[in-house]
Amino acid sequence: SEQLFMEMADRLAEDSWRELGYQYINIDDCWSAKQRDASGRLVPDPKRFPRGIKALADYVHSRGLKLGIYADLGILTCGGYPGTTLDHVEQDAQTFAQWGVDMLKLDGCYSSEQEQAEGYPKMSEALNATGRPIVYSCSWPAYQGGLPPKVNYTILAEICNLWRNYDDIEDSWDSVLSIVDWFSAHQDVLQPAAGPGHWNDPDMLIIGNFGLSYEQSRSQMALWTVMAAPLLMSTDLRTLSPSAKEILQNRLMIQINQDPLGIQGRRIVKEKFHIEVFLRPLSQAASTLVFLSRRTDMPFRYTTSLAKLHFPGNAVYEVQDVYSGQIISGLKTGDNFTVVINPSGVVMWYLSPLAPPWRLLRQPGPGQGIGPIVL
């Protein structure tokens, strides 16, 4: 109901979320009445949104926040509510703009491949024609398997701001790992598609719910950050535990996630003993490393060096542990180091060069990749 969204807006505004960059309150499926009105317009459920979406948007804006809404390019939404067929695309875009909506997720249930190929670009044009800045989230690639040749990421980046590539996340560690595995397996295709204004979306953060342990929650936050994922929380901010809040509000983590270069990270090492390493280049020749343990037995001592992780040969770094805040100064590329990684946990590092490297750390292009290295 509107009360729920108003209470979430209050929490974002009053509990330090807004200042960290969490600024969108997004309504998902099932918000509308079961029928359009006499003029064909979508209308909100009168019992749950008695004052309408415009009033809710006004309230959200009064808290310094933005409102997102859901629609579906098909005869019905996934939940069985009125969909946005091709003849309603322009009308619905105008309706959302008139209500003061700031973001639209357009799903794809109950639509054909041809309707999606026509409808997703058409909605992009319709949103732009309203004159209102509206972030556009597309589910198009997820319905086409997420990969070329059926998905053209060049076209997608021109019409959408973010897009769902893969399955819906579930409240479980297995689901998180399945998403990480799919993104890593196809990183040569997916990584170049991401950048400022056009992002791969591995789906929501489930931190603060029921399926993840404390270590797994830290891991999802770190992995989504290294993947340059939009940070969209799916949890009740009114009952969020202090430990989950601390993870979601980690300032250095958010700074890394929001790095202006917008380069998506890659899995660069996959050890046979179930340790994986992910690397994301950042602005000002900085970078972030995530050491992930997929073990379930005990903390693991992982020894490596920056040289083995393909860092420039003549560089010295200051390293900050993103979660503990511990700083290591003067780490040379050739120095061996050991990180202790808890089961299903991560160690995440932010590395800043102290001495200029001979060459900047560069990501390989598609087909040139450093694939996973099995040692």
Domains 2-258 and 266-357 share a fold: no
pLDDT at 313: 87
Distance CA 62, CA 230 (A): 24
Query: Residue 305 — φ and ψ, nearest 5°?
Result: -145, 165
- Mean pLDDT for the chain? 95
Look at the block and give the residue holding tokens 């992910």. 278
248 neighbors 205 (Cβ within 8 angstroms): yes
| The one catalytic residue among 72, 107, 201, 259 | 107
Could you give the 3-state DSSP secondary structure of residue 101? Answer: coil
pLDDT at 356: 57
Higher-pLDDT residue of 370 and 280 is 280
Q: Which helix (H) or strand (E) holds 274?
A: none
pLDDT band at 355 (very low <50, low <70, confident <90, very high): low
- Confirm whether 29 is a catalytic residue: no
337 neighbors 307 (Cβ within 8 angstroms): no
Distance CA 266, CA 371 (A): 9
- 186-201 residue pLDDT tens: 999 999 999 999 999 9
- 364-374 residue pLDDT tens: 444 444 333 33
Look at the block and give the residue holding tokens 């070329």. 148
* Per-residue pLDDT at 337 exceeds 90: yes
Query: Which numeric CATH code is attached to 266-357?
Result: 2.60.40.1180
Percent of the chain predicted with pLDDT > 90: 94
pLDDT band at 314 (very low <50, low <70, confident <90, very high): confident
The architecture CATH gives domain 2-258:
Alpha-Beta Barrel (3.20)
- Confirm whether 167 is a catalytic residue: no
Closest CA to 160 of 240, 230, 238: 230
Interval 126-143 mean pLDDT: 98
pLDDT at 360: 47
Interval 65-91 mean pLDDT: 98
Other beta carbons within 10 Å of 158: 11
Distance CA 224, CA 92 (A): 32
Distance of CA 279 to the CA centre of its chain: 17
Domain definitions of the chain by residue range: 2-258, 266-357
pLDDT at 302: 98
